[in-house]
Amino acid sequence: MSVFIFCTLALMEQLNFLMLFEIIAFATAVFLGIHYLSSSQKNNSFLGWFLLLGFLPDLIVYVLYFFNKHEFEIEFPNTAFLYIPFLFFYAQNITAQFSKKSWRLLFPAFFTTVFHCIFQFTEWELFVIIESILSYLFSIYICFIILKTIHTHQKNISQYFSSLEDKTLNWLRILSIILIAFNLFWLVEDLIFIFTPWEFYLPQISAFATIITIYWIGFSSLKQPTIFQKEQIETEIIEEKELTKIEIDIFQIVEESMKAGALYKNKNLNLSDLALHLNKNEKILSRIINTATKDNFYHYINSYRIRFFKQLLEEKQKNHLTLFGLAQECGFNTKSTFYTAFKKAEDCTPNEWLQKISPNNGIRTSKRPYKHF
């Protein structure tokens, strides 16, 4: 053990601590990428390629630099043109918006690789500068279309699901914003270096931020479940128009099913389940609900849950439960969703509503059995 400690200390003297942490982080990203590529889920394979192509070249360069120091130099083509599109493919695929036309985004990677091979024997320094600047701009562009994809997705899921937990992809939206910030920072660094006599390099900040981001990607992506079971679903918002008599009858059937079958108690109820239960087309059913209620599927189902919650509260049922425990009986998954839905429906919090109704109907005064959150 003492020999191992001695060797480790000697290694630390030769290798910058920050570089060591970067190597560990890059290796973690590569192993996570391999794990996702071996997964049966297509969504994860795209994320796997993003991690592998994004961090394997850096890992190789850092490891070889450690063993060879200044004796070794290696120049890879700029991989940003290759790995950033795979993050977009992941965003498209997990939100059921993938299109075969998206593969065109890999063309810049092909051309830059060809030019890389040509210019390394001629105007190499000029090419590297241009390549770097274009890669920053390309990455920023891709991240913006990822943000647009997620924005569309967050509108679509309220048409399809009654519970949005683990479906909003907020972590991917934040990651895109972080990548935009990274690339803007690197772009400013390079422009200052090119056009001014100053040197504006802050490798420590970039290194620490990269390490934290890698582990955050791993933590967030491992928790992300599959959102849509189908590869492609029709989630676009349909233009509302007046309902026909047949469609009004269909909505009455929906209402009766909600009241009699209490389908809203199913925490994972989605439009597909409801359409299957009623033997109706999803797209048509979505339009009918949107038009009849002037709202979306998510708020429609939660309105029934709120009504049932108030009913249980007023009838003094299940007094042993907390307010959120009661909300779970009505189909809510999380406290935040319940709180937001109740606030939208009643323009007050559940606790405020309880205080308002208690003096009027003689239930639950200061000794009310229901516990607060």
pLDDT of 66: 67
Do 203 and 281 fall within a single domain? no
Please check whether residue 371 lies inside any domain of the structure. Answer: no
pLDDT in tens, 15-65: 467 777 888 888 999 999 999 998 877 778 999 999 999 999 888 888 877
Please check whether residue 82 lies inside any domain of the structure. Answer: yes
Do 39 and 155 fall within a single domain? yes
Task: State the CATH number of the domain containing residue 340.
Answer: 1.10.10.60
Please check whether residue 189 lies inside any domain of the structure. Answer: yes
- Residue with the larger pLDDT of the pair 240 and 28: 28
pLDDT in tens, 7-25: 443 444 444 677 778 888 8
The first and second tokens of residue 150, run together, are 């997620």
Do 172 and 309 fall within a single domain? no
Structural domain harbouring 349: 245-361
Mean pLDDT of 218-247: 72
pLDDT of 151: 92
Do 51 and 135 fall within a single domain? yes
Do 65 and 105 fall within a single domain? yes
For the cut 60, the answer to whether the pLDDT of residue 150 exceeds it is: yes
Do 219 and 346 fall within a single domain? no
Instruction: Give residues with Cβ within 8 angstroms of 360, minimum separation 6.
Output: none
Counting the structural domains of the chain, the total is: 2
pLDDT of 11: 44
Please check whether residue 231 lies inside any domain of the structure. Answer: no
Please check whether residue 160 lies inside any domain of the structure. Answer: yes
Mean pLDDT of 205-233: 80
Do 313 and 266 fall within a single domain? yes
DSSP state of 161: B
Place of tokens 């070249």: 57
Do 185 and 258 fall within a single domain? no
Do 152 and 98 fall within a single domain? yes
Provide the pLDDT confidence category of residue 121 given band limits of 50, 70 and 90.
low
pLDDT in tens, 130-149: 888 899 999 999 999 999 99
CA distances from 366 to 311, 327, 358, 359 (A): 20, 21, 9, 10
Do 69 and 184 fall within a single domain? yes
- Residue with the larger pLDDT of the pair 252 and 261: 252
Q: Of the ranges 68-77, 258-267, 293-302, 314-323, which one carries the lowest mean pLDDT score? A: 68-77
pLDDT of 369: 41
Provide the pLDDT confidence category of residue 109 given band limits of 50, 70 and 90.
confident
For the cut 80, the answer to whether the pLDDT of residue 345 exceeds it is: yes
Q: Which of 161, 192, 223 is the last residue of a domain?
A: 223
Please check whether residue 369 lies inside any domain of the structure. Answer: no
pLDDT of 30: 93
230: left (phi over 0), alpha (psi -120 to 50) or beta: beta
For the cut 70, the answer to whether the pLDDT of residue 227 exceeds it is: yes
For the cut 50, the answer to whether the pLDDT of residue 4 exceeds it is: no
Do 292 and 262 fall within a single domain? yes
Please check whether residue 373 lies inside any domain of the structure. Answer: no
Q: What is the largest CA-CA distance in the chain?
A: 88
The first and second tokens of residue 308, run together, are 């049932």
Contact 176, 146 (CB under 8 A): yes
Do 180 and 102 fall within a single domain? yes
Q: Which of 171, 189, 223 is the last residue of a domain?
A: 223
DSSP class per residue in 55-88: HHHHHHHHHHHHHHGGG-------THHHHHHHHH
Please check whether residue 277 lies inside any domain of the structure. Answer: yes
pLDDT in tens, 156-189: 888 888 888 888 899 999 999 999 998 998 888 8
DSSP state of 230: S
pLDDT in tens, 299-344: 899 999 998 888 887 776 566 778 888 888 888 888 888 888 888 8
Q: Which amino acid is at 37?
A: L
